[in-house]
Amino acid sequence: MSEMILMIAGTTMAGASQYQQGQAYQAQAEAEADILEYNAQVAEQEAKAAGAAAREEASEFSREAERFKAKQRALYGKSGVEFRGSPLAVLNEQATLLELDRLNILREGSLTASRIRSQATGYRMGAKSAKQRGKSAARGATLSAAGTLLTGYGTASYYQSLKDK
């Protein structure tokens, strides 16, 4: 009878251990998912900040460009140059180049924000994957524990029936 008790106790402990391992792995996967989700939120904030910084930089560039163009017109006016022909073409060319620079600042900011948002998406996908891994591990450990218990109890019952004969 004592062998039977030891066999049942050992089987129970092995099954409980397998179940606990699955629960621990699931908890670890959930913690990993939480960290990845936090990283995704931080990345989203960084993306917004990058976009805002680019818009502010472009706005500041526009103000500087307007001051530059005003100074250029004032210097032309002071020197008696009329705003026709070549001087006008130079001013228009300068305005076009300044606008292209402003648009490039916005484009770079948009690209940076997009890259960071892409990282956030990657973090979220990793979080989802970690949660799924945890659930699968817990399910697998539960099934494994159940199998261990059934096998152990079946074996104990078999040996007990042999002993009873």
**Which residues lie below 8 Å from residue 58, measured CB to CB, with a gap of 6+?**
102, 103, 105, 106, 109
DSSP state of 80: T
User: Given this model, what pLDDT does residue 123 score?
Assistant: 97
Q: What is the pLDDT of residues 62-114, one digit of tens each?
A: 999 999 999 988 888 888 878 778 888 889 999 999 999 999 999 999 999 99
User: Given this model, what pLDDT does residue 70 score?
Assistant: 92
Mean pLDDT confidence for 7-36: 92
Side chain identity at residue 25, one-letter code: Y
User: Given this model, what pLDDT does residue 1 score?
Assistant: 58
pTM > 0.75: yes or no: no
User: Given this model, what pLDDT does residue 161 score?
Assistant: 83
Contact 105, 54 (CB under 8 A): yes
Per the prediction, the chain carries an average pLDDT of 92
Contact 29, 87 (CB under 8 A): no
Both tokens assigned to 109: 């900011």
Q: Is 163 helix (H, G, I), strand (E, B) or coil?
A: helix
pLDDT above 80: residue 165: no
Contact 43, 115 (CB under 8 A): no
| Predicted confidence band of residue 28 (pLDDT cuts 50, 70, 90) | very high
| Predicted confidence band of residue 127 (pLDDT cuts 50, 70, 90) | very high
Could you tell me which of 165, 163, 158 has the C-alpha nearest to residue 8?
A: 158
